[in-house]
Structure 1
Amino acid sequence: MKRVAVAGASGYAGGEVVRLLLQHPELEVGALTASSNAGQELGSIHPHLTPLADRVLQDTTPEVLAGHDAVVLALPHGHSAALAAQLGDDVVVIDCGADFRLRGADAWTAFYDTAYAGAWPYGLPELPVAGGRQRAALEGARHVAVPGCYPTAVSLALAPGLVAGVVQADDITVVAASGTSGAGKSLKPHLLGAEVMGAMSPYGVGGVHRHTPEIEQNLTAAGAGDVTVSFTPTLAPMPRGILATCTARVVPGTSAAAVREAWTNAYADEPFVHVLPEGRWPSTGSVLGSNSVHLQVVLDERVGRVVVVAAVDNLTKGTAGAAVQCLNIALGLPESLGLPVAGVAP
């Protein structure tokens, strides 16, 4: 058994990491830490984590996290880099924040207000990239940057078309809806039930959302040259889940059959990415609590655009599930070990 500490266990992402670790046959939950919630019992914050309800959250310090085989950092953006620098090279560190996702300093400083910390191997194993899969960069890695939730959905939705050369890179539009847990657990007036229930609203409009450069980075890695993305996120009245509708121009002369073949071939052997049968559309309810991504792709022949819809659970495959998946790869365990494929319904 490998012992895994979770820093930031009181948050939504950290709590989801703990939930998945509890059902993992080869990983044991080690220290659980928090910031303002340190000293409280885990069950007072995450009552659904019954097996560890009496566990007291400790302060997030390098000393508490020392002595583990792996550490998962589920901290706010900008807080991982300093802590990771104090952890030894003998520990596998999986960062769920944004600190190490971007490969360019300019892209980081344009969207974030902290110093650029560099880039770690990017933790989206299934991502089609020029020459193969992102998985190859994760085998034996000691540090991994978990993708953002929106980039997970959007990148997996569009990369097959770019790799196959059936989609053009210069006119990509994405409108995606997310549940409120994507904004974290801090109290915010616009996330109150009275504000969210029965309503949808856009935010981060006009190319300012922090996940935009990450999406463009991933799609550029598919080998189609520089990618431009118009990304509009929206807030949906649900706790968790992402539904991303992605469109792009197809290469002239591309048939509907060629479009579908590009996606089905790309994910034929992937256990967590499912291209649904024709006519069946993704739903966030179908992936709830799972590490699965549901996709559907069609060609709108009238306007010459491909339409791809992706559904993921932002806390599972969008964050914590990806962390455990990458941890499995880094530790040499079967990639899908301990991760749920089936969702929870209704």
Structure 2
Amino acid sequence: MFMHMTFSVAIAGASGYAGGEMLRVLLAHPEARIGALTAHSNAGTPLGAHQPHLRSLAGRVLAATSTENLAGHDVVVLALPHGASGAIAAELAERGDDAIVVDLGADHRLVDPAAWEQFYGSEHAGTWPYGLPELLHPGESTATAQRAALAGTRRIAVPGCNVTAVTLGLQPGVAAGLIEPQDLVAVLANGYSGAGRSLKTHLLASEALGAVQPYAVGGTHRHIPEIAQNLRSAGAEAVSISFTPTLVPMARGILATSTARLVPGTDPATVREAWEQTYADEPFVHLLPEGQWPTTASTLGANTALVQVAVDEAAGRVVTVTAIDNLVKGTAGGALQSLNLALGLPETLGLPLDGVAP
């Protein structure tokens, strides 16, 4: 039983994939009321021209993204390219606007300004409470401290979608001291919506259909420092990871296969027990029965992460496979989950657990 708490939400960047998905999950939330919808180059056009699946909002005209249009709401969601959220958030603060601000972009995720400048090439906008409720802290086997950090916060930095998948796959082993956090390897299959909506040659159907394309190879992907940051949060002293994402011909989804060296003398039963203990009571992160492997299709449209863990005894490595919908658990669903905690609402309120199949 909870007290009703209706809240208004403005969305900046409502014409993009992340903004559209945020609107979709908010429309299913019993307490959310949609306020201003803004865009940059698409300002002045109807939302239905960009998000035709959102029929209940199709006639709404997109306003320009400005603090004047975003101010006066209980919640402001920034679905903007990296480097754009920081300035808008600072302007809202200067106006004295007391809205909860949720950043779906990268601007406020990293703790280390030097890491931001190295991977993003601009001045760091600052660090906000991190919107991954399941993130472990040192000495924890369940994510108590992270939820406490999100309760009542006025700022939320939503993780990168790849980061969510890799973190959820590896952190139980790090926290339990069962895997060595150096020589980590993660290879991901990513749906094209993760690349955004901009028109680029390699994103055209004629280039993408029937093809698998690697990108940001050789330690250049901007999610690498964020993954390392999360695994340090779970207890690793130092992290090194080889991270290779690939674009595969599907619209949504991430399948992250992450491996790590097993601490010598650790048996497979102990490994499974660590993952079971971490996720036993998590509403959205599910360790599958032994022998059942995650698929992206099983998470389509849901705020669910499906995880499996196995031990490759011949290689001396732990293998984890994690499937998420990059736009739901990887972005908008994770954001709403964190927002529920910030508002004092049930964490699961309005969020889909079940996927869409076939």
Q: What TM-score bracket applies, with the shorter chain setting the length?
A: over 0.9
Preserved CA contact (<8 Å) 1:73 1:94: yes
Q: How does 1:174-193 map to 2 (within 5 A)?
A: 174-193=186-205
**Which residue number corresponds to residue 173 of structure 2?**
161
Instruction: Tell me the CA shift for residue 135 of structure 1.
Output: 1.7
Q: Which whole-Å CA distance do the structure 1 matches of 2:149 and 2:186 have between them?
A: 27
Deviation of 1:118 (Å) = 1.2
Q: Which of 76, 101, 105 is the aligned partner of 1:93?
A: 101
Quick check: 1:128 aligned with 2:140? Answer: no
Q: Match of 2:323, as an amino acid? A: A
How many residues were matched structurally?
Answer: 346
2:125 to 112, 117, 134: 117
Matches within 5 A, 1:180-259: 180-259=192-271
What letter corresponds to residue 224 of structure 1 in structure 2? A
Q: Find the aligned partners of 2:235 and 2:115 in 1 and give their Cα distance.
A: 19
Q: Structure 2: state its 5+ residue gaps.
A: 1-5
CA deviations over 1:249-279 (Å, ceiling 9, x no partner) = 1111111100000001101110000000010
Q: In 1, Cα distance between the equivalents of 2:177 and 2:43?
A: 51
Task: Report the alpha carbon displacement of residue 131 of structure 1 after superposing the two structures with TM.
Answer: 3.6
- Tell me, in whole angstroms, the C-alpha distance in 2 between the residues paired with 1:215 and 1:276: 23
> So what's the TM-score if we normalise by structure 2?
0.95
* Cα distance between partner residues in 1 of 2:137 and 2:293: 25
Who is 1:71 aligned against? 76
Q: Deviations over 1:49-88 (max 9, x none)?
A: 0011111111111011111000010000110000001113
Q: For 2:91, what is the secondary structure of its paired residue?
A: coil
| Identical amino acids, percent of aligned pairs | 64
The separation in 2 between residues aligned to 1:30 and 1:255, in whole angstroms, is 53
CA RMSD between the two structures: 0.8
Offset at residue 307 of structure 1 (A): 0.1
Q: Which residue of 81, 86, 99 maps to 2:86?
A: 81
2:165 & 2:182 partners in 1: Cα distance? Answer: 19
Distance 1:212 1:175 in 2: 12
Deviation of 1:15 (Å): 0.1
Structure 1: unaligned runs, 5 residues or longer: none
Deviation at 1:89, TM superposition (A): 4.9
**Partner of residue 39 from structure 1, selected from 41, 44, 53:** 44
8 Å CA contact retained: 1:111, 1:208: yes
Question: Which residue of the partner structure matches residue 278 of structure 1?
Answer: 290
Preserved contact between residue 8 and residue 33 of structure 1 (Cα < 8 Å)? yes
Q: CA deviation at 1:2?
A: 0.4
User: Following the alignment from structure 2 to structure 1, what is the Cα–Cα distance between the partners of residues 19 and 214?
Assistant: 26
Partners of 1:162 and 1:255 lie apart in 2 by: 15
The equivalent of 1:325 in structure 2 is: 337
Q: Deviations over 1:253-306 (max 9, x none)?
A: 111100000001101110000000010000000000100000000001111100
Correspondence 1:22-33 to 2 at 5 A: 22-33=27-38
Which SS does the other structure have where 1:306 is aligned?
Answer: strand
Whether contact under 8 Å (2:71, 2:97) holds in the other structure is no
Q: Is residue 343 of structure 2 the alignment partner of residue 335 of structure 1?
A: no
Q: Contact 1:291 / 1:339 at 8 angstroms: preserved in 2?
A: yes
Which stretch of the first structure deviates more once superposed, 219-228 or 238-247? 219-228
Q: Residues of 2 paired with 1:200 and 1:292: CA distance?
A: 25
Distance 2:125 2:57 in 1: 34
Counterpart in the other structure of 2:319: 307
What is the one-letter code of the residue matched to 1:116? H
Q: Following TM superposition, where does structure 1 have runs of at least 4 consecutive aligned residues deviating by more than 6 angstroms?
A: none
Could you state the TM-score of these two structures normalised by the residue count of structure 1? 0.99
Partners in 1 of 2:26 and 2:181 — Cα distance?
A: 38
Counterpart in the other structure of 2:3:
none
1:12 paired residue number: 17
Q: 2-side partners of 1:308 and 1:128: how far apart?
A: 17
AA paired with 2:110? L
SS in 2 for 1:85: helix
Pairing partner for 2:158 from 143, 146, 150: 146
Q: Quick check: 1:276–1:282 contact (8 Å CA) kept in 2?
A: yes
